Amino acid sequence: MKALIVYHKTKQDLGTIKEMLEKRGFTLDYRFGEDDELPKISENSHDLAVFLGGPMGVYESGEHPYLLNEIDYIQRRLKADKPLLGICLGAQLIAQSLGGDVYKGAQGREVGWCDVQINGAGLKTPMRHFDPSKTKIMQAHQDTFDFPKGAELLGSSDMYNTQAYRVGGKVMATQFHPEADQHILDYWLKNKKDFFDVEDNSPEKMLAEAKLYLSILKTQTALFMNEWLDDVLPKSGNNNA
């Protein structure tokens, strides 16, 4: 099996999901968003596509024109009804692909360890593994989006309603970061420390809480990923180790 991984900073942005996909037998095909390779890639050539986060806004396509290529690929992938996961910027790109505008959130930055309330619909899906009764999750965003047509809301936070959603049976998206690991946190705080310094949160607080929550989040992300992939991949293609 083959997974397309679209990243915007480093390959390490895949975080704990890398290990999970490799255990299932996936070959990981990394593509840097800025390389403009997506127009050459068929929407049917990968069993799974994962679009990761990034510091740019979907609305900044004038400065980052490759984002339009990502939206085009996602639209093709959606039409082909192929498994797709979007995280943070990835979730926003999927929303934009479905006609939901992306913009800076009026509530400001949502960062650090938070709760996402999984609603009744979400509790019937693999997203239930991120319910506050199971884990804290990691937030690192200031953008939000209008809820896209044809999607189903699965979870919300106190600051932003659109935290988790699905489209049809094969597309999942999270505004939060289920893939977070120590490398990702260290990278963020080295390169964007000021971004995480807001009321009720600080880089120091985030790192201290990581000692409590990272391992739990990893476990819950594995449960989410494996259950979701069991649902969306052909049964003959599953290799859940």
CB-based contact 219:178 (threshold 8 Å): no
- Taking CA atoms, 147 is separated from 7, 59, 79, 120, 160, in Å, by 23, 16, 19, 17, 11
Residues 6+ apart with CB under 8 A from 212: 136
Judge contact between 69 and 118, C-beta under 8 A. Answer: no
Active site residue 34: no
CA atoms within 13 A on the CB side of 183: 11
User: Which candidate in 8, 43, 46, 88 is catalytic?
Assistant: 88
Cα 57 to Cα 94: distance, rounded to the nearest angstrom: 13
- Is residue 171 classed as helix, strand or coil in its secondary structure? strand
Distances (CA, A) of 241 to 20, 58, 178: 9, 36, 20
Active site residue 64: no
Q: Give catalytic status of residue 114 as yes or no.
A: no
Alpha helices in the chain (DSSP H): 16-23, 66-80, 89-97, 182-191, 203-232
Report how far residue 41's alpha carbon sits from residue 35's, in angstroms, rounded to the nearest whole number.
Answer: 12
Residue 137 near residue 116, CB atoms below 8 Å: yes
So which residues are the catalytic ones? 88, 177, 179
